[in-house]
Chains A and B, each alone.
Chain A
Amino acid sequence: MSYETVIGLEVHSELKTKSKIFCGCSTQFGSDQNTNVCPVCLGLPGVLPVINEKVVEFAVRAGLALNCRILPFSKFDRKNYYYPDLPKNFQTSQYDLPIAVDGYLDIEVNGETKRIGITRVHMEEDAGKLVHSGTISNSDYALVDYNRTGVPLIEIVSEPDLRSPEEAKAYLEKMKAILEYLDVSDCKMEEGSLRCDANISLRPVGQEEFGVKSEIKNLNSFRSVQKGLEYEVARQTELLDEGGKVVQETRSWDDAKGITVSLRSKEQAHDYRYFPEPDLVPIMVEESWVEDIRAHLPELPEARKQRLMNEYGLPAYDAGVITASKAMAEYYDATVAKGAEAKVVANWLMSEVSRMLNAEGREVTDCPVSPAHLAGLIALISKGTISGKIAKTVFEEMWSSGKDAESIVKEKGLVQISDEGEIVAIVQAVIAAHPQSVADYRAGKEKAIGFLVGQIMKQTKGRANPELVNRLLKENL
């Protein structure tokens, strides 16, 4: 039978406020263990939380960017469960009255735009981290690092509107871009500042009623979101085809083995015993404040993409790739601002720059070639000082040395030879040295010219102006 896949995502994003959600401790990632802590985030007896107003502002910002309605009256609740990384053994979260509801997010898959509903955005505190002496299964003990305890999070819950693992990945990428543009989260999946759980079920095509879902946890990268969901589609399809039933359960993605494994069944599901947090007062959000935040929302990926298309005439594809990451878009704008031709910059970013970044696993913010240097390189190409081919060599040199293009070109003598007389002499020498190729060419073998061009380039170490070489060679043949 053929099935339709139904996916809903729960995205957790750490907010990049300076201090934690309910105390003044720093949220700095990577600090020494248990240094960003105080009685409040350690949950010591007698302490009380005080809401960090910036957290509410960031959550409202996210809610607005996701086209949500901001609730004027919202509150915190306690979610009760025991775990050693949760010092109070309850998480202060929002249950029935979250800060933002009923929004949407547009994604593009295979060139088509699709609108995905956002059920809610709510604020909550993060838990600490367990540090095991060995692996989880063979450790004699575990230690707890409370630095992350109380770091603010927003949880964004989507409607079950996603229909494939690919759509899920596109949704998550778009979400990451929006949160980055809003400057509310670093969205680093590897540092856990962006996390994702997925609910997935299958139903026979045409059936309206949802099938039984499983919840997939531990999807720690964009790749694993797609892989984990693909695995789950296959697993559930096989189960259903064999006449079996999908059980409602929570499963964990094992990235190394490429499978999901059952964590707990519906019967073992926690009863979180939610109730209103008595230590905090309800959050009353003034409409004027919301409108002020709305008015100051930064440019979002969609708008920026349109701007690149309108201002620079970039094709939709290029504009989409560049604006998918705020840092890349900023790098792009900075390079263009230095006078480089817009389309050429786009080509460089999508090819050489991306290739090198991926190869070294770097972020564009950490790119050793600055926008000014890249613009300088592009200027040398457009002035004809170097060829496009040489430019790639120069770029690699710039990457490793951090120097600008001009000094590298000078130091290495890479200036393009555009002197006709100089090139003609080499052309004639090459023609004289390779009579067979010349004969082949004259006999109609067009390809033979490529060999001759190669020889000329070899002799000039690639510095000869390729256009001149082609013209002069043809003239002399």
Chain B
Amino acid sequence: MELYQQTLQSLHDKLLKKDVSAVEITESIFKRVDQVEAQVCSYITPNREAALAQAKAADAKIAGGGTIAPLAGLGGALKDNLCTKGIKTTCASKILAKFVPPYDATVVEKLASQDAVFIGKANMDEFAMGGSTENSGFFPSRNPWDLERVPGGSSGGSAAAVAAGEALWALGSDTGGSIRQPAAYCGLVGLKPTYGRVSRYGLVAYASSLDQIGPITRNVTDCALVMNAISGYDPKDSTSIKAAAPDYTKALSQDVKGLKIGLPREYMGEGIQPEVRQAVLKAVEQLQALGAECREVSLPHTEYALAAYYIIAPAEASSNLARYDGVSFGYRGEGDDIVSMYKKARSQGFGAEVQRRIMLGTYALSSGYYDAYYLKALKVRTLVKQDFDRAFEQVDVLLTPTAPTPAFKIGEMMSDPLTMYLQDVFTIPSNLAGVPAISVPCGFAGGLPLGLQIIGPVLGEEKVIRTAYAFEQCNDYHQRFAPLGEVKS
């Protein structure tokens, strides 16, 4: 097996035993990038030289002895909405095409201090708005399992990079499913942590009350390792939770005896592809075989969650994205006066989907409409939260499909934003409620990976990880590689 295909845990062991160096691992990854990047298009900004320097520094540390962090010397992809000092951070938008932040996001700072290696800045839907990376202002990324198909989004570049072997791990951000859905489409593990578990400082905001950074990895163990590296209270983020982060690897256990699993009735209805439903039901059976108990539960306000999301997220976005005006940074529109300058910067710098959401949000907050839209959406959000609260009084975790279908074809949904929005129907409620949710590979349909979503209560990451790990160990889905680069016979 090539170095770029291996798990974080096994590579860490090899580094400690000095069987391999961080430079060798990093070179292996970049060799893979050279092989497949033209097809997959994961990265907006590869970070080759700096990555090799980081790898060298990690090797020096390993040679010197002392404590070596689990991610030291191991190369990953950062979604391009995470600010990196001195490295372009574009949010896949023309408006930030040349933006180089003067500071690091807290997660970037944390990973760097643990000697992790940054392979590059990954493609995404512009400002994280979308579910396919087709809304990237530069180019779409492709699904390594089928290059005709999308890798999902908005963290599609991050997922594609890991699935293609162009990164050992990746960070994404999830506002309505943007980590979990691409993880599902690319046969990976993706975790959206509890809101406030991971600092958002330096994550370019889409919808502040919903955004959360999380890992995309090949398996649940790697997910726990990355979570250990990035979680915790950050005084720079007022919404981050003031509680010490546990060691998530302690949750890597197959002991699910007595674990109460809920199957929300509203998540198994119409619109789900039959293979997806079957895969979820099979997962339930496997967990039951391990001793978990399963029952049906109800989250009655689920059907309103999507509508509430498409009010709240654009409303916040309309304000968060107001700063892109070309005055002191970003794409500058030339005009005779300030208003024409603003208009040019924003109509030329933003893509269609971003403009659509800014307009939706501006409308929803306008005087005379606020009560009917934004305020009502906030009330729905409260009801959705209460649904989860009640469900978690009865069960430990909830099992649902991550997305109703496997990855769709590039271009298939671009003319139909509403159908595209429906892909998020199972992932959005947990953002509204702020609860953690993971997607783990649960089978294939027509050669395309499927994802099982496990949702837990607030700060219930350990329950989610334990369930996901137990399920993962029953199958070999996580050990399969995308057939990319293999000669098709």
Binding site for B on A (CB under 8 A): 39, 42-51, 78, 80, 82, 84, 87-90, 144, 146, 271, 273-275, 278-281
Asked if B328 and A39 sit within 8 Å, CB to CB, the answer is no
Bound CA–CA A46/B127 (angstroms): 11
A residues near B285, Cβ cutoff 8 Å: none
Which listed segment binds A: B94-102, B264-272, B480-488? B94-102
Which of A51, A90, A271, A274 makes the CB contact (< 8 A) with B322? A90
From residue B329, how far is it (CB to closest CB) to chain A in Å? 7
Q: In the complex, which of the residues B202, B338, B367 contacts A46, with contact meaning CB atoms closer than 8 Å?
A: B202
Look across to chain B and name the residue whose beta carbon is closest to the beta carbon of A39: B103
Q: Kindly list chain A residues whose C-beta atoms are within 8 Å of the C-beta of B83.
A: 45-46
Bound: A43/B204 CA distance, A: 11
State in angstroms the CA–CA spacing of A78 and B370 once bound together.
14
Contact with A along B286-321 (1 / 0, CB 8 A): 000000000000000000000000000001101100
Say whether, besides A46-B204, A144-B328, A39 and B102 are in contact (CB < 8 Å): yes
The CA of A146 and the CA of B319, in the complex, are separated in Å by 20
Contact: A48 with B236, CB < 8 Å?
yes
In the bound complex, do residue B208 and residue A279 qualify as a contact, i.e. CB atoms below 8 Å apart? yes
Q: Is B325 an interface residue (CB 8 A)?
A: yes
Do B101 and A45 have beta carbons less than 8 Å apart?
yes
Number of B residues contacting the other chain (C-beta, 8 Å)?
Answer: 43
B39 sits at the interface (CB 8 A): no
Tell me which residues across on chain A come within 8 A of B370, comparing CB atoms: 273, 275
What are 16 A-to-B residue pairs whose CB atoms are below 8 Å?
Answer: A39-B101, A39-B102, A44-B101, A45-B89, A46-B203, A48-B237, A51-B238, A87-B328, A273-B319, A273-B366, A273-B370, A275-B315, A275-B316, A278-B316, A279-B205, A279-B239
State the Cβ distance, B81 to closest chain A Cβ, in Å: 8
What residue in chain B is nearest A51 (Cβ atoms)? B238
Which of A45, A89, A281 makes the CB contact (< 8 A) with B204? A45
B63 within 8 A of A: no
Q: Is B414 an interface residue (CB 8 A)?
A: no
Query: Is B365 a contact partner of A80 (Cβ separation < 8 A)?
Result: yes
Give Cα A301 to B315, complex, Å. 46
Within 8 Å of chain A (Cβ to Cβ): is B463?
no
Contacts of B335 in A (CB 8 A): none
Contact of A47 among B82, B201, B315 (CB under 8 A): B201
- Name the residue in B81, B96, B103 with the highest tally of chain A Cβ atoms < 10 Å from its Cβ: B103
Digitize B329-341: 1 where CB-to-A-CB distance is under 8 Å, 0 elsewhere: 1000000001000
**In chain B between 182 and 196, which residues have their CB closer than 8 angstroms to a CB of chain A?**
none
Which residues of chain A are within 8 angstroms of B325 by Cβ–Cβ distance?
82, 84, 89
Determine if B238 and A280 form an interchain contact, defined as CB atoms under 8 angstroms apart.
yes
Q: Which residues of chain A are near B101, meaning CB under 8 Å? A: 39, 44-46
Complex: how many Å from CA A87 to CA B325? Answer: 9
Contact with A along B373-390 (1 / 0, CB 8 A): 010000000000000000
Closest residue on chain A to residue B339 by CB atoms: A82
- Identify the closest chain B residue to A43 (Cβ): B323
Q: Which residues of B contact A278 (CB under 8 A)?
A: 207-209, 239, 316
* Distance of B392 from chain A, by nearest CB (Å): 23
Question: How far apart are the CA atoms of A87 and B328 in the complex, in Å?
Answer: 8
In the complex with contacts A44-B329, A275-B315, A88-B365 CB distance below 8 A:
no
Chain B residues lying within 8 Å of A47, measured Cβ to Cβ, are 201-202
Specify which chain A residues have a CB less than 8 angstroms from the CB of B231 in the assembled complex: none
CB-CB nearest in chain A for B324: A45
A229 to B237, CA, bound (A): 45
Contact with A along B65-102 (1 / 0, CB 8 A): 00000000000000001110000010100001001011
Q: How far is the CA of A278 from the CA of B209 in the complex (A)?
A: 5
Bound-state Cα–Cα, A273 to B373, Å: 12
**Shortest CB–CB separation between residue B371 and chain A, in angstroms?**
12
A88 CB contacts on chain B under 8 angstroms = 322-323
Decide: A42 and B201 in contact? CB cutoff 8 A. Answer: no
Q: Contact check: which of A45, A144, A280 meets B96 at CB < 8 Å?
A: A45
Whether the pair A275, B203 counts as a contact (CB closer than 8 A) is: no
Closest to B374 in A: A275
- With A39-B103, A275-B374 as known contacts, state yes or no: A46 contacts B315, CB within 8 Å: no
Contact with A along B38-62 (1 / 0, CB 8 A): 0000000000000000000000000
Q: How far, in whole Å, are A50 and B200 apart by their CA atoms in the complex?
A: 12
Q: Are B328 and A42 in contact (CB under 8 A)?
A: yes
For A43, A274, A279, which residue has the most chain B Cβ atoms within 10 angstroms? A279
CA distance A48 to B236 in the complex (A): 7
Residues of B within 8 A of A275 (CB): 315-316, 319, 365, 370, 374
Closest residue of chain A to B203 (Cβ to Cβ) is A46
B322 touches A80 (CB 8 A): yes
Q: Assess A50 versus B239: contact at CB under 8 Å? Given A45-B99, A275-B365.
A: no
- Contacting residues, chain B, for A78 (C-beta < 8 A): 319
| Complex Cα gap A53–B102 (Å) | 26
B474 within 8 A of A: no
Residues of B within 8 A of A273 (CB): 318-319, 362, 365-367, 370
Contact B103–A89 (Cβ < 8 Å): no
Known contacts A50-B235, A273-B365, A273-B366; decide if A80 and B319 are in contact (CB<8 Å): yes
The distance in angstroms between the C-alpha atoms of A45 and B101, with both chains bound, is 8
Nearest CB of A to B221, in Å? 30
State whether B102 touches A46 (Cβ < 8 A): no
Give chain A nearest CB distance to B144 CB in angstroms.
29
**Measured between C-beta atoms, what is the minimum distance from A127 to chain B in Å?**
12
Cα A146 to Cα B329 in complex, Å, equals: 13
B105 touches which one: A46, A271, A279 (CB < 8 A)? A46
CB B311 to nearest CB in A, in angstroms, measures 11
Q: A45-B204, A84-B325 are in contact. List 19 more A-B contacts (CB 8 A).
A: A43-B323, A45-B205, A46-B101, A46-B204, A50-B238, A78-B319, A80-B318, A80-B365, A87-B327, A89-B325, A271-B366, A273-B365, A273-B366, A273-B367, A274-B365, A275-B315, A275-B370, A275-B374, A278-B208
CA distance A271 to B362 in the complex (A): 10
B205 contacts which chain A residues (CB < 8 A)? 45-46, 279
B118: Cβ under 8 A from any A Cβ: no
Q: Does B477 contact A (CB under 8 A)?
A: no
Known A88-B323, A144-B327, A273-B365; contact A48-B238, beta-carbon cutoff 8 A? yes
Question: Is B203 touching A84 in the complex (CB atoms < 8 A)?
Answer: no
What chain A residues lie within 8 Å of B235 (beta carbons)? 50
CA–CA, A43 and B327, complex, Å: 11
CA distance A144 to B338 in the complex (A): 13
Q: Which of B81, B99, B239 touches A281 (beta carbons < 8 Å)?
A: B239
| Beta-carbon contact of B316 and A50 below 8 Å | no
Task: Pick the most buried of A42, A87, A90, A273: most chain B CB atoms within 10 A of its CB.
Answer: A273
CA distance A51 to B235 in the complex (A): 11
Min CB distance A130 to B, Å, is 10
In the complex, whether B4 has a CB less than 8 A from a CB of chain A is no
Whole-angstrom distance between the alpha carbons of A89 and B346 in the complex?
A: 13
Would you call B342 an interface residue if the criterion is a C-beta within 8 Å of the partner chain's C-beta atoms? yes
In the bound assembly, the distance between CA atoms of A152 and B385 in angstroms comes to 35
**Bound: A196/B238 CA distance, A:** 32
